[in-house]
A and B are shown apart, each in its own frame.
Chain A
Amino acid sequence: MERPIAYDKLAREDRLIRMRARDVAQLKIEQGLPPFPDLLSRDSIKERVHGIMVGELQAMEGAGRTVYDFPDAPWEFTMDMARQVWDESRHVEIYVRLLEHLDGYIGEFPETTILWRCACAEDAAARVAGVNRGLEGLACDVFNQLVHIARKMGDPILERAVDYVLADEITHVRMGSKWLTRLTEGDPERRRLAIEFQETIDERFNLGGIRREGPHDAVPISIATEARREGGFTDEEIARLIKTTQRSAVY
């Protein structure tokens, strides 16, 4: 099997339509819509849930590729990634069912592969930094906010299911924090490059200022500082993330 695979080799059923994230955003802007779905209506929540569902699919595939791509990494690393595959596969099922709960269907919105592209780093340390800390950190932000919005909406199905997923994601962030340190022990250059890769992902997913610090119902994506702390982010890292959201380029 090819190792690693090119980002455009992701296999999909016909019912999913793949588009570049920037093209989807552009089409929406042209129609006077926000580029990223807000959480103000059931329909926009459904679109966000669809985006999360395909993100979970890519996260499962990405963790699986990490199990395959790095046979020489420590066995405990493989174990953590295999566990993550299992978690993400359950998350896919959870979000497909939530999509049904919201009267949606798989393929109702385009699939963007921006997450998957980030999961294709060739170095294991960069991959866990980018995926487990960058992307799973973003997942913590998004899910934490969704739990609060669901609670406010009075939707216990959405609230409970997403809260369990959030607990898993915090665990994945913790794995990322652990393996970023262990895999780069005694190799500061490798660590620097891995963190740099994570920061490019953080920057990209600030989405031109859409992610920022603030109340759950006032900002499009609110930074989950507490969940991030539980995942091993230091206060300094969280402060730096918040600072970068204030200077992000337009998406």
Chain B
Amino acid sequence: MTHPLAGHLEVDESAKTARHYRYAVERMTRILGGWMALTPELSAKLLMGRHVWDNAQHADAWGKRLPELRAAAQVSEPANARLVAFLDAVEDAERPEQTVERVVAIYRVLKPHLLAIYKAHLATANAVYEPPTCRILARCIEDERRHVAAGETVLRHLLRTPELEVRARACEARLWQLLEAAGGVTGTGAVSRVSAAAAPPAALSDDAAEFIRLEQSTGTWPIAPALAEALAAFGDALIAGDVAAARCWLAPEVELGPDLEARLRGAQGSRHSIVACARVGEQRLVKLRLDGAQGGVTLLLRWVPTGSDWRLAVLEAVSAPAAPPA
């Protein structure tokens, strides 16, 4: 039987472990903070926004624990250069269309790993002289379990296509390999993680299902029948490549212009859909997406009522995404 005062870490080792935890958690806090502005989807944006503060508190708790272990307060230390490389790779996913990679990196790799090592640490920490560490671990475990579950919910929502699933798996495998090469956050060798299935959700102001609902809350737009007809006819004309018919909807002073005409030709042949509709007084701003064989283009249209009819006062291409971002 193990003696109640037996331990697995020296005081100095315990401080070093706390610095390693703090390094990973501090970097994760900053990365999530930086990513929000680069992430289009509201569900993922709010998920990150909710967790930045929890993460910061974890880093803070580890940092405050350090002087109690005869070490300098609030110091972060990476376990090794390979862990730095792993987190650099995590941070690399900064393009708007890389939300899947961002969520996978944090919620399928780093957090599940942190959850596993925190649990393993708590299981072996001495209950007599390490309760200050155990309390921090318990708090972190509770939060990480919730975060992993929320992240998985959002990720399932984001993975809408087989291509995205492939991207997610590739990203997870690549990052996991880097984390294994580093020996995990503490650099000690065997690297494990807890699956989302083992992390039951517990609502505490980060209800991922609600974030998804908010993201999906704008599905249709209250568009006046005459404008809906105008939009349909204009979109049909563009898809058919009938520039003359499309021009009928333009206000007299508006021109398509050669650049726009060329881009519209590339979007011919498939379908059009409204993706946004905003009001400015009586006028309407509409985003119309055209998806064609040679790619897509999103047009921003400003429609002005003219008696019982509508005419386009402004028409410009705002983007040409290959696929909706995820």
Q: Does A64 contact B (CB under 8 A)?
A: yes
Complex partner residue of A106 from B29, B40, B46, B217, CB under 8 angstroms: B217
Do A86 and B50 have beta carbons less than 8 Å apart? yes
Report the bound CA distance from A105 to B277 in whole Å. 10
* A61 / chain B contacts, CB cutoff of 8 Å: 36-37, 45
Q: Does A41 contact B (CB under 8 A)?
A: no
Report the bound CA distance from A136 to B217 in whole Å. 27
Contact residues, A50-76 vs B (CB, 8 A):
57, 60-69, 71, 75
Do A28 and B281 have beta carbons less than 8 Å apart? yes
Chain B interface extent, by class: 35 or more
Q: Which of B53-61, B106-114, B134-142, B243-251 contacts A (4 or more CB under 8 A)?
A: B53-61
Do A68 and B31 have beta carbons less than 8 Å apart? yes
Known contacts A65-B33, A67-B52, A86-B53; A14 and B281 CB within 8 A of each other: no
* Main SS class of interface, A: helix
The interface bits of chain A over 1-26 (1 if a CB of B lies within 8 angstroms of the residue's CB, else 0) are: 11101000111111111010000100
Q: Does B174 contact A (CB under 8 A)?
A: no
Do B280 and A82 have beta carbons less than 8 Å apart? no
Q: Does A83 contact B (CB under 8 A)?
A: yes
Known contacts A16-B276, A85-B53; A79 and B285 CB within 8 A of each other: no
Least CB distance from B273 to A in Å reads 10
Q: Does A226 contact B (CB under 8 A)?
A: no
Known contacts A12-B40, A71-B30, A85-B36; A92 and B278 CB within 8 A of each other: no
Do A11 and B96 have beta carbons less than 8 Å apart? yes
Do A92 and B30 have beta carbons less than 8 Å apart? no
Least CB distance from A80 to B in Å reads 9
- Return 20 A-B CB contacts under 8 Å, by A number: A1-B31, A2-B94, A11-B37, A19-B285, A27-B280, A31-B280, A33-B281, A60-B49, A61-B45, A67-B33, A68-B33, A78-B30, A79-B57, A82-B57, A85-B49, A85-B52, A86-B52, A89-B46, A107-B278, A110-B280
